[in-house]
Amino acid sequence: MSQSRGQWSSHMGFILAAAGSAVGLGNLWKFPYIAYENHGGAFVLVYIGAVALVGLPIMIAEIVLGRRSQLSPVGAFLKLTPDRPGHRLWAAPGMLGILAGFVILSYYCVIAGWTLRYILMSVSGQLATMVGDGSFNDFFGAFLADGPQQTLWYTIFMTLTVGVVFFGVKDGIEKVARTLVPLLFVILIALAVYSTTTEGFGRAMTFLFRPNFHELDRGAILEALGHSFFTLSLGMGAMLTYGSYMRRQDSIPKAALAISLLDTAIAILACIIMFSIIFTEDMEVTKSSTILFTTLPQVFFKLPGGSIISGFFYLLVAVAALTSTISLLEVVTSFAIDQLKLARRAAVLLTGGSIYVFGLLSAWSLGASDKLTNFNLIGRDSTVGMLGTLDYLASNWFLPVGGLLIAVFTGWVLSRKASHEEMSDGHGPLPWYNGWQALIRFVAPLVVGAIIVSVILGAEYQ
């Protein structure tokens, strides 16, 4: 088994592939808009705290479980559990992870598909003509409500994802990630430097970095926590699966730190860029969830070579999204391979195909179908619609609950010897090992657990 299992070719290869999974629409589309909705400052601080105290330790835990077991989530938990009565219950967090991967991939590809149309419209000059006459919001609203258009771009994006996983991820993902993740970083830094010259930069920094705790409610704390899982690709075994391809001579703690820093830096850079533009232009943000698609293009065309910058930017968003969707599909697929004993190609077609069909519900929930558009399971404004509801369920519930179980498992079920060995192999002495243990045994479960309980008790709605 372990012989036929793929491996990253180098330490950097793993870091970039995992960073490719982490960096995606979560950073470039979602974080800016939820930070905006939750009034910046305090929310950003809670988010950074969540990444450091909960996200990073859990990322280490996931990679430890993956490299230790050499398996995908369900198999990993079963293999690493001592053979006691009831030990098969530990398949549950793995199953929850598969469900999360299924759900997230289905709506994630809908949004990722939009970037494809934007690339095309940048290059064809269509986007440029629209910026001038201010019809952007109208155009975008119409695009969302256009069933055939949504189906088209969604189908293309899902096909790309299935295509890569079908032909084998390891060579593909690693190579793509190696060139494009650094490139994405360079472009974002260039745009961030540009944003320092804009008038709105000061206000953007204040908005992002001056916390005002009065503006923070429990819903926001849950959202920050949920997002820290989402953006780091945690809580459903994606890092676990990637970790299972990691070489023994590479350091898990160093990789986890690098991935988390890279991911957080990119999310914050994206905010600095977008808010500077919004505040400079005093743009009215009518629907914050579409900042990336309605606000940002307008500034590109103020720069020389706007079409090229814009085309390039959406290409990079698309690539960032693709390196993420691949990791989502890989989790579900490797489950089908390991547990249902399917051949890789059959597994990809089966999982990709069923996720595709389910995702059509999200694709048509943005105006194309009234029923799906008004779908509201939870009764919270921001969750209206099938896509919104699934995103809410997955990132605020499945991932935190999955993360909680991963933390409990690694802290309390896996032996200290095993975790210590995995963390020190390729790393050397671990003076802070006990600190990590404290975080994974107590802090992470208590913080995540407390928030879950407070939401169950309904505190969020007050």
Residues at the contact surface with ligand TRP, assessed by CB under 6 A: 21-22, 24-27, 104, 230-231, 233, 236, 238, 324, 327-328, 399
DSSP 303-338: STTHHHHHHHHHHHHHHHHHHHHHHHHHHHHHHHHH
Our CB check for ligand TRP shows the closer of 131 and 452 to be: 452
Q: 81 in the Ramachandran plot: left (φ > 0), alpha (ψ -120 to 50) or beta?
A: beta
Closest separation between CB of residue 28 and ligand TRP, Å?
8
Whether residue 22 contacts residue 262, with contact meaning beta carbons closer than 8 Å, is answered with yes
Q: How far is the first Cα of the chain from the last one, in angstroms, to the nearest whole number?
A: 52
∠ Cα 209 20 38 (to 5°): 30
Whether residue 277 contacts residue 302, with contact meaning beta carbons closer than 8 Å, is answered with no
Our CB check for ligand TRP shows the closer of 107 and 279 to be: 107
Our CB check for ligand TRP shows the closer of 298 and 396 to be: 396
Closest residue to bound ligand TRP by CB: 26
Our CB check for ligand TRP shows the closer of 104 and 121 to be: 104
Closest separation between CB of residue 334 and ligand TRP, Å?
13
Closest separation between CB of residue 180 and ligand TRP, Å?
14
Closest separation between CB of residue 277 and ligand TRP, Å?
21
Residues 168, 53: Cα–Cα separation, whole Å: 34
Closest separation between CB of residue 26 and ligand TRP, Å?
2
Closest separation between CB of residue 132 and ligand TRP, Å?
32
Sign of the CA dihedral with 319 first, then 264, 12, and 310 last: positive
Count CB-CB contacts under 10 A for residue 148. Answer: 7
Our CB check for ligand TRP shows the closer of 76 and 104 to be: 104
Our CB check for ligand TRP shows the closer of 136 and 335 to be: 335
Residues 420, 262: Cα–Cα separation, whole Å: 25
